[in-house]
Structure 1
Amino acid sequence: MQLPDHEQQELDEIERHLAEDDPKLAAKLNRPAARVPRRTAVVAGMLSLHVIGLLVVVAGVTLSSVVLVALGACVILGVFGGFAVRAWHEREK
């Protein structure tokens, strides 16, 4: 949806005044949104997998399914193993 010409001109004028009054704020507002750091994304993914593993274990216990309990336990152990390997690699650097 496009603004009428006079409204667009007013917005452009406000933007110019902002840039003149507070250049740091104007630069910050014009900057693209910050990305999530890779380390944060990896940790969030691993924690999500851990929760999924816990849910699978709970479902297995509820349904009396040894296969689901074992699968959930493998996922949980895999997440802990992933954390351990990641910490080991970072320590080696």
Structure 2
Amino acid sequence: MKLPDHEQRELDEIERRLAEDDPKLAAKLNRPAPRMPRRTLVLAGMLSLHVIGLLVVMAGVSSSSAVVVALGGCVVLGVFAAFVVRAWREREKQG
């Protein structure tokens, strides 16, 4: 939504005065926010799932439930397999 001209001029004036009063703050506010690389987010998600799978296995062992242990084992092995496949595909792309 576009601002009316007088409001845009007021905001521009405030921005100009801020830049004069505190140039470091103005530079910091104009800098884009840092983003985490997609690869880092994927690896963090895979690690989280792996830990959850291990916790499910431990819960299954403590409750003597073979089904819960098997479910946790499938999660752990699935995450490991996904990691191996992802690494293999990246290696194939590189050459």
Is the TM value for this pair above 0.5?
yes
TM-score range, shorter chain: 0.7 to 0.9
Query: Could you state the TM-score of these two structures normalised by the residue count of structure 2?
Result: 0.72
Unpaired runs of at least 5, structure 1: 1-8
Superposition CA RMSD, Å = 2.4
SS at match of 1:36: coil
User: TM-score normalized by structure 1?
Assistant: 0.74
Measure the CA separation in 2 of the matches of 1:10 and 1:27. Answer: 14
Secondary structure of 1:92 counterpart = helix
Identity %: 67
C-alpha displacement at 1:16, in angstroms? Answer: 2.7
- CA apart distance, 1:18: 4.4
Name the structure 2 match of 1:6: none
User: SS of the residue aligned with 1:90?
Assistant: helix
Q: Which residue of 2 aligns with 1:13?
A: 17
Provide the C-alpha distance between the structure 1 equivalents of 2:28 and 2:14, rounded to a whole number of angstroms. 21
Distance 1:13 1:27 in 2: 13
Provide, for residues 36-80 of structure 1, a one-character-per-residue CA deviation record: whole Å limited to 9, x for no partner. 110000000000000100110011011100000000011000111
Q: Is the 8 A contact 2:60 2:66 kept in 1?
A: yes
4+ runs of 1 displaced by more than 3 Å? 9-12, 25-29
Code of the residue aligned with 2:20 in structure 1: it is R
* Paired AA for residue 46 in structure 1: M
